[in-house]
Amino acid sequence: MPEPMGFFTDTTVCIGCKACEVACKEWNQLPAENGGIGELSGDSYDNTRKLDGIHWRHVRFIEQFKGPYDGRWLMMSDVCKHCVQAGCLEVCPTGAIIRTEFDTVVIQSDVCNGCRACIAACPFGVIDVNPVSGTAQKCTLCYDRLKVGLEPACSKACPTDSIQFGSIVELRTRAHKRVDQLKAQGVKAELYGADPDGALGGLNSFYLLVDEPEVYGLPRKPVLPSRNLGKSASFSLASAAVLGVLALVGLRKRRMDDMGGPGGGPN
Amino acid sequence: MSDTFFSGAPHWTWFIIPYFFVGGLAGGAYFLAAALDWFGRPEDRPVVRTGYDVAAVGAILSGLLLTIDLGRPLRFWHMLFQSENFPALMFKGWSPISFGAWAILLFGLFSVLSALGARAEEGRLQLPALRAVGGVVKGGVAKVVAGVGGLLGLFIAGYTGILLSVTNRPIWADSPWLGALFLASGASTGAATLILLSPGRGATERSLGWLSWFDARALVVELLVLILFLASLGPVNRVWVGFWGLVLLVGVIGFGILAPLRMHAKPAQAARLVLLGGFLLRIATLLASEGIDRYRVVAGS
């Protein structure tokens, strides 16, 4: 049994080259958006804009400038987090979403019927429909490459090792060392998703960030969709009980009216 | 900012909105018909029969809308059976979309059985096969079918709201009250549909009076739950500042709840407004969230 594998993304060394995006698109044969007709976002150097069914890697550009000479760029190559407790897998009604032997989360395109429950369930906004297949798609952590002992296309292409692939245990050790190194240099660095006791049981694609998670478009405390199930079902049950009682009370009042009882009921 | 603002929109729009509306009113209509079947009088039979018809047509329409909405409609059965391991069943008790698929199937089955039974009662079935099925659904069998189907009807009306809550989307996942709200709306729109349609099948004033009485109280329940829903949203309520907030305030609360409550003398007009309000409720709750785009939120524009 292989051990859990994943990504550690050190955002401090990302240079925004988008080699990961290109490698991902190329390897996974993902189609161009809008039939290849270019549409510029007008937002920084980011025309990919977001992760979706045909963009499984997205390099986010964050410009933090107070003036022309006072500021910094933050860049982060975003991808599916391959959550240990995955919301998408939890809700998927067809069984298309599975956990692999590498502890990664994969959507089987031949099983998915495009109901899109997983899109709303993912706390990170990772999944969307691939318009060509009509099914929900996202990063597979190059399951096909992993099966034959290759590393994922994106991390292979990353020229600065901002995206590092390996066993989760080893990556965590490496990440903690890097945080210590940066902190020693006075950089405010934190890991996001590296804690196995943290949100969603830890993320098998975790990050080193130098600002708040929200700045990178990441939720502070991602949660499973099922957290609402018990409460929501209980309130619905209570509502059903009230309506049921009302229906019966109405019928009883009508009967009492017929018997010449106190009025006020439905006639 | 709620963490729900970082999720992606599932594009549940112009097939899902009518499904939520039709499914809700079909469930509500079946529940009311079943209540009259069990505890009503012979003079209520026209309403009972109308309710079963509305439920059957609504269930079939719901199934069609749900199937058409899929990215791969021919794979609709993947929600019921494991496609790679047929005929093993596909069922997740913790996933509303999974148990909802089964509930819709069962609701369809029960509502069609009840509708056939009611039609056989009227002698309106021509095909021998349908007449044979309809003939079985009478007496005690019809009562049992109606009892189970009525509960399924309430379930169908409410689970759609639970389905929305069991996500990570803004508004939907920020409140646990959507299931209760949609259930109350399903009951009120179900009653309104019966008020409009059952007179054509010979419903008596007394039956209609009970429906109007119930509808008014269901609207009050709906209003109270709507207030609880909005209160539970807390700071997320800022999403209502805009068009969908106007639809909710004027369309749903004003025209869909308060106006019908004041129109005792005109039950048919009131019922039409209740239906409008129920439809606008689904539109506002779905599209207000659908319109929140992860990318734009993060970019701050």
Q: What is the model's pLDDT at position A121? A: 98
pLDDT digits (tens, 9 = 90+) for A141-170: 999 999 999 999 999 999 999 999 999 999
Q: Indicate whether A207 and A235 sit together in one domain.
A: no
Q: Indicate whether A110 and A165 sit together in one domain.
A: yes
Tell me, yes or no, whether A264 lies in a domain: no
Tell me, yes or no, whether A206 lies in a domain: yes
Q: Indicate whether A110 and A183 sit together in one domain.
A: yes
Residue B140: CB partners within 8 Å, gap ≥ 6? none
Closest among B160, B164, B167, B146 to B31, alpha carbons compared: B146
Cα(A185)–Cα(B149) distance, integer angstroms: 68
Residues of chain B positioned with their CB less than 8 A from the CB of A254: 206, 209-210
Q: Indicate whether A187 and A251 sit together in one domain.
A: no
The reported pTM is 0.94
CATH code, domain carrying A214: 3.30.70.20
Residues B207-218: b if buried by 16+ CB within 10 A, e if exposed: bbbbbbbbbbbb
Of B75, B98, B168, the CB nearest to A87: B168
Full domain range(s) for residue A127? 5-223
Query: CB distance B11–A116 less than 8 Å?
Result: yes
Q: Which structure tokens are listed for B112?
A: 């069609």
Q: Indicate whether A244 and A148 sit together in one domain.
A: no
Residues of chain B positioned with their CB less than 8 A from the CB of A220: 3
> Residue A126: closest CA among chain B residues belongs to which residue?
B8
Closest among A145, A105, A148 to A127, alpha carbons compared: A105
Tell me, yes or no, whether A171 lies in a domain: yes
> Residue A121: closest CA among chain B residues belongs to which residue?
B167
Q: What is the model's pLDDT at position A43? A: 79
* Contact by Cβ (8 Å): B29, B153: yes
Neighbours of B223 (CB within 10 A): 19
> Residue B102: closest CA among chain A residues belongs to which residue?
A93
Q: What is the model's pLDDT at position B301? A: 41
Query: CB distance B71–A113 less than 8 Å?
Result: yes
> Residue B212: closest CA among chain A residues belongs to which residue?
A266
Q: Indicate whether A211 and A247 sit together in one domain.
A: no
Residues 233-292 of B with CB under 8 A from A: none
Tell me, yes or no, whether A22 lies in a domain: yes
CATH code, domain carrying B113: 1.20.1630.10
Q: Indicate whether A238 and A177 sit together in one domain.
A: no
Tell me, yes or no, whether A167 lies in a domain: yes
Q: What is the model's pLDDT at position B265? A: 83
Q: Indicate whether A181 and A235 sit together in one domain.
A: no
Tell me, yes or no, whether A67 lies in a domain: yes
B51 at A interface, C-beta within 8 A? no
B173 at A interface, C-beta within 8 A? yes
* Contact by Cβ (8 Å): B46, A90: no
Query: CB distance A238–B180 less than 8 Å?
Result: yes
Q: Which structure tokens are listed for A249?
A: 């009370």
Residues of chain B positioned with their CB less than 8 A from the CB of A211: none
Query: CB distance B167–A222 less than 8 Å?
Result: no
Tell me, yes or no, whether A266 lies in a domain: no
Of B71, B96, B183, the CB nearest to A129: B71
Cα(B195)–Cα(B25) distance, integer angstroms: 12
B81 at A interface, C-beta within 8 A? no
Residues of chain A positioned with their CB less than 8 A from the CB of B221: 239, 242-243, 246
Q: Length of chain A, please?
A: 267
Query: CB distance B210–A250 less than 8 Å?
Result: yes
**3 state SS of B72:** coil
Tell me, yes or no, whether A267 lies in a domain: no
Query: CB distance B39–A50 less than 8 Å?
Result: no
Residues of chain A positioned with their CB less than 8 A from the CB of B178: 232
* Contact by Cβ (8 Å): B145, B110: yes
B180 at A interface, C-beta within 8 A? yes
> Residue B75: closest CA among chain A residues belongs to which residue?
A113
10-residue averages of pLDDT along chain B (301 residues) = 92 96 98 96 95 98 97 97 95 96 97 95 87 88 96 97 97 97 98 97 94 97 98 95 96 97 91 98 97 66 41
Angle, CA of B255, B261 and B265, to the nearest 5°: 110
Q: Indicate whether A103 and A235 sit together in one domain.
A: no
Beta strands in chain A (DSSP E): 5-10, 58-67, 70-78, 97-99, 105-107, 128-130, 135-137, 163-167, 190-192, 205-209
Q: Indicate whether A233 and A197 sit together in one domain.
A: no
Full domain range(s) for residue B211? 3-299
Q: Indicate whether A189 and A118 sit together in one domain.
A: yes
Residues with pLDDT less than 70, chain A? 1, 261-267
Q: Indicate whether A240 and A117 sit together in one domain.
A: no
Q: Per the structure, how many domains does chain B have?
A: 1
* Contact by Cβ (8 Å): B226, B161: no
Q: What is the model's pLDDT at position B173? A: 97
ipTM of the complex: 0.95
Closest among A24, A114, A156 to A78, alpha carbons compared: A24
Q: Per the structure, how many domains does chain A have?
A: 2
Which phi and psi angles does A64 have, rounded to 5°? -115, 90
Interface test with A, best of B37, B72, B289 (most A CBs within 10 A): B72
Q: Which amino acid is at B183?
A: L
CA distance B79 to chain A (A): 5
Query: CB distance A223–B218 less than 8 Å?
Result: no
B209 at A interface, C-beta within 8 A? yes
Using alpha carbons, list the distances in angstroms from residue B9 to A217, A246, B45, B286: 15, 37, 44, 10
